[in-house]
Amino acid sequence: MSKSYDAVIVGAGIIGACTAYELSRKGYRTLNIDKLPAAGYGSTGNSCAIIRTHYSTYDGCALAYEGYFYWDGWANYIGVEDERGLAKFYDTGCFVMKTELNDYLRPICRNMDALGIPWEDWDLETLKAKMPIYDLHSYAPVKRPDDPDFGKTSGEMMAGAVFFFKAGYISDPQLATHNVQRAAEAKGATFLFNSKIVEIRQQDGRVAGVTLESGEEIDAPVVVNVAGPHSYLINRMAGVEEGMNIKTRALRQEVAHVPSPKGFDFEKDGFVTSDGDVGCYCRPETGNHILIGSEDPACDEREWVDPDDYNRDFTDQWQAQAYRVAQRIPSLGIPSRMKGVVDLYDVSDDWIPIYDKSDLAGFYMAIGTSGNQFKNAPVAGVMMAELIERCEAGHDHDKDPLQLELRHIGRSIDLGFYSRLREINKESSFSVLG
């Protein structure tokens, strides 16, 4: 293996693989380094891999809408055969329950209209027809199961929902990452697994490469931090964290995996759903199951952890999520044996990612992405490749933020929106919803 590359990418999750693919298409010789044994083995592999367009900000919606078209045309985007086959996009659509907390989705629908993203209003009659297993009473505010008022309805009915047509999920996020790896390799990219980086080397005020735990030194004038929950540790290694106004840290999460209620085929007839009234989101899963994730309600304490030392066992949080959804689906069977995943999010201070350069010349970041950016991985790869190419050619992105053309939707976005130097974005949901 050559010890010199045009760019070293720290991490081989979905965004790291897409960054390698897009840089390779521009002629860069790239090397992805990951301490795990395969691409997409970390937090990417345990992602719920939901594809949706609704975000709390205009820019978030625009990026997600652009990303949707990559997944909808996945075979064309990959452009090569993968011996393991291609990941499948299940184009189910997504409905979001209207609540006081989300202002009955009026701000999001304004973003949809501004971007030409189709949506449809669902009243309670439509909701009941689509989801006959639903109890449409309100259970807000979200509570812990040990709260004496848990499971008690306020007596009010829900206000309905909004259905977003351009949504769905990828059932195998690790396979999707392997697809991108194969596409990148076809363009000349290289991947190195089971290898831990212990030093970001510098020379004359810019990055010079990395040193592995084995002692091997790999030279590169560009290093890209796409390390997921370990991103803040890589930033500290590079000495760039103090120059950032927005930082990242690792957040522990649990996702419950439960069977669909008897008599209802959630895999075939279910949707991606977001329900702030009970504080959970769901999606169908193979085998007629339901994946249940948390929308981080205020009553749940957030558990910030060391990404190399955290509890990987299920806790009462698993039960809280399953019981909350059982308020909405009274016939939901909750198994005594807990199944699902425990993993980490890489979360920024305002839950909006950082796609940016750093104060160290040649060192770039695609971080703070976990929980809600899987869907944006292909366009994030395009974004990072464009940013790196332009900045390495001398453009001052801090003073004059790049504008990225979103070719599928015919729009452009200001990449300063994702700057490390931005102020906290008050329009964010400050949750996995983005």
User: Could you tell me the CATH number of the domain that includes residue 313?
Assistant: 3.30.9.10
Q: In this predicted structure, what is the pLDDT of residue 2?
A: 53
**Alpha-carbon dihedral 317, 322, 328, 331, rounded to 10 degrees:** -160
Last residue of a domain, one of 343, 377, 396: 343
Q: In this predicted structure, what is the pLDDT of residue 370?
A: 79
- State how many domains the chain has: 2
**Domain shared by 110 and 34, yes or no:** no
Q: Tell whether 368 is covered by a domain.
A: yes
Q: Give the C-alpha separation, 203 to 199, whole Å.
A: 13
**Domain shared by 22 and 41, yes or no:** yes
Say which amino acid occupies 116.
G
The predicted model gives 349-364 an average pLDDT of: 97
Give the DSSP letter of residue 140. Answer: P
Q: Tell whether 269 is covered by a domain.
A: yes
**Domain shared by 186 and 320, yes or no:** no
Q: What is the pLDDT of residues 303-323, one digit of tens each?
A: 999 999 999 999 999 999 999
pTM above 0.85, yes or no: yes
Say which amino acid occupies 424.
I
Q: Tell whether 267 is covered by a domain.
A: yes
Per-residue pLDDT band for 404 (boundaries 50, 70, 90) equals: very high
Task: Give bridge partners of residue 95 from the DSSP assignment.
Answer: 163, 273
Q: Tell whether 371 is covered by a domain.
A: yes
Domain residue limits at 121: 94-165+255-343
Residue 1 has pLDDT above 70, yes or no: no
Q: In this predicted structure, what is the pLDDT of residue 434?
A: 77
Q: Tell whether 431 is covered by a domain.
A: no
Q: In this predicted structure, what is the pLDDT of residue 433?
A: 82
Per-residue pLDDT band for 64 (boundaries 50, 70, 90) equals: very high
| Alpha-carbon Rg for the chain in angstroms | 21
**Domain shared by 76 and 177, yes or no:** yes
Per-residue pLDDT band for 138 (boundaries 50, 70, 90) equals: very high
Mean pLDDT of the residues in the chain: 97
Q: Tell whether 261 is covered by a domain.
A: yes
Q: Tell whether 335 is covered by a domain.
A: yes
Residue 115 has pLDDT above 70, yes or no: yes
Give the DSSP letter of residue 149. Answer: T
Which token pair is 291?
A: 């994946």
Question: Residue 363 sits in a domain of what CATH number?
Answer: 3.50.50.60
Residue 416 has pLDDT above 60, yes or no: yes
Burial class (CB in 10 A: 0-12, 13-18, 19+), 319: middle
Residue 348 has pLDDT above 70, yes or no: yes
Last residue of a domain, one of 343, 373, 407: 343
**Domain shared by 333 and 370, yes or no:** no
**Tokens 């045309």 sit at which residue?**
73
Task: Using alpha carbons, select from 412, 418, 379, 343 the residue that is nearest to residue 43.
Answer: 343
Q: Give one DSSP letter per residue of 58-98, joined into a string.
A: HHHHHHHHHHHHHHHTHHHHH-S--TT----EE---EEEE-
Tallying the residues shown for the chain, one arrives at 434
**Domain shared by 140 and 259, yes or no:** yes
Q: Tell whether 427 is covered by a domain.
A: no
Q: What is the pLDDT of residues 163-187, one digit of tens each?
A: 999 999 999 999 999 999 999 999 9
**Domain shared by 196 and 229, yes or no:** yes
Q: In this predicted structure, what is the pLDDT of residue 313?
A: 98
Residue 379 has pLDDT above 60, yes or no: yes
Give the DSSP letter of residue 157. Answer: B
**Domain shared by 31 and 177, yes or no:** yes
Last residue of a domain, one of 324, 343, 362: 343
**Domain shared by 176 and 67, yes or no:** yes
**Domain shared by 363 and 387, yes or no:** yes
Task: Using alpha carbons, select from 132, 119, 121 the residue that is nearest to residue 159.
Answer: 121
Q: In this predicted structure, what is the pLDDT of residue 431?
A: 87
Per-residue pLDDT band for 371 (boundaries 50, 70, 90) equals: confident
Under a CB-based contact definition with an 8 Å cutoff, are residues 180 and 14 in contact? yes
Q: What is the pLDDT of residues 89-112, one digit of tens each?
A: 999 999 999 999 999 999 999 999
Q: Give the C-alpha separation, 177 to 404, whole Å.
A: 24
Q: What is the pLDDT of residues 216-249, one digit of tens each?
A: 999 999 999 999 999 999 999 999 999 999 999 9
**Domain shared by 159 and 177, yes or no:** no
Per-residue pLDDT band for 19 (boundaries 50, 70, 90) equals: very high
**Domain shared by 187 and 242, yes or no:** yes
